[in-house]
Amino acid sequence: MNTKTIVGTEVYLDLEYSEKGKLKNESDIYSLGVVLFELLSGRVAYDQIYVAESTKGHAEVTRKRFNEGALKNIIDPELVEEVDDNLSGLKIGANQESLEVFANIAIRCLEITQDKRPTMKVVIEGLQNALNLQSRITGKNATQFEHI
């Protein structure tokens, strides 16, 4: 569907939608990618740290960091040094492999063109894989995480 009336919060908007009015399911995948990186970084997409660098916000800065090989610089340090109460306060940090799978599926969601973005099925499979990898270090299976 094409439209001349573009609505939404700019930092979450699919670039093809905001520039060409081309609205597809893949537009939602782009917005999901922005939200996934909000989770990974612990900052909202319109946080001043991103908007100061780019008016497009988090997504454009994230793509730039990814291309520079510096994506780890936006990961929330609290996520990496998470304390597990069940392990007597030991810091367990996120599984590196899990973080990489999560970040790779999220960055694919932020592809500039809609036809290069994954389907929702592929996104779900990737996130499930990241969750399974994370469960290795915590000893909890993926279904235990779903109920938290």
Scanning 52-89, the segments in alpha helix (DSSP H) are 58-68, 77-80
CA distance 137 to 144: 13
What pLDDT score does 148 carry?
43
Domain count, the chain: 1
Please name the amino acid found at residue 46.
Y
Q: What is the pLDDT of residue 147?
A: 45
Q: Rounded distance, CA 139 to CA 114, Å? A: 37
Q: Tally Cβ neighbours within 10 Å of residue 64.
A: 13
Quote the pLDDT of residue 44: 87
Burial class (CB in 10 A: 0-12, 13-18, 19+), 81: exposed
- The answer to whether residue 124 is domain-embedded is yes
pLDDT in tens, 128-141: 999 998 887 666 65
Task: Name the 3-class secondary structure at 2.
Answer: strand
Residue 1 lies in a domain: no
- Average pLDDT (108-131) is 93
Answer whether residue 43 is part of any domain.
yes
3 domain residue, yes or no: no
C-alpha 47/C-alpha 49 separation (Å) is 5
Q: What is the CATH number of the domain that holds 101?
A: 1.10.510.10
Task: Please check whether residue 78 lies inside any domain of the structure.
Answer: yes
Which one of 28-32, 43-47, 75-79 scores highest in mean pLDDT? Answer: 28-32
Asked if the structure places residue 104 within a domain, the reply is: yes
Distance CA(34)–CA(57), nearest Å, equals 9
How high is the pLDDT of residue 86?
55
The C-alpha atoms of residue 65 and residue 44 are separated, in whole angstroms, by: 16
Domain span at residue 64?
10-146
What local confidence, expressed as pLDDT, does residue 122 receive?
96
| CB contact set of 34 (below 8 Å; sequence gap of 6+) | 11, 12, 45, 57, 58, 59, 109, 110
Residue 5 covered by a domain: no
pLDDT, tens digit, for every residue of 62-105?
Answer: 888 888 988 888 888 877 655 455 554 555 567 788 888 999 99
At residue 12, does pLDDT exceed 90?
no
Q: Decide if 2 is inside a domain.
A: no
Is residue 120 pLDDT above 80, yes or no?
Answer: yes
| pTM, rounded to two decimals | 0.77
